[in-house]
Amino acid sequence: MASDVDVLLGEEKALRRMEQALETSQVEVDEYQDQEQAADLTRRDINIMALRTLLLQASFNYERMQAGAGCMD
């Protein structure tokens, strides 16, 4: 387990890195450039995403990897 000195040194190091990052940052404003509302997710969109996720998970088996390519057009 880390001692109190190690924790304090780690915190100081993190603060120095943050200060350095803020000094060298070229970003002046911290907000998204595109403020438009995106289209709502439909039930169909979520179902398609779930199906693709399941196919991806199934393709981790080497024997099924070759067959999975035909499913995704």
Query: What is the predicted pLDDT for the residue at 20?
Result: 87
Are 37 and 31 in contact by the 8 Å Cβ rule? The answer is no
DSSP 41: P
Q: Give the pLDDT confidence of 4-20 residue by residue, as tens digits.
A: 777 777 888 889 998 88
What pTM value is reported for the model?
A: 0.39
- Which parts of 1-73 fold into alpha helices (H)? 4-24, 43-58, 62-68
Query: What is the distance between the alpha carbons of residues 68 and 62, in angstroms, rounded to a whole number?
Result: 10
Mean pLDDT of 13-36: 82
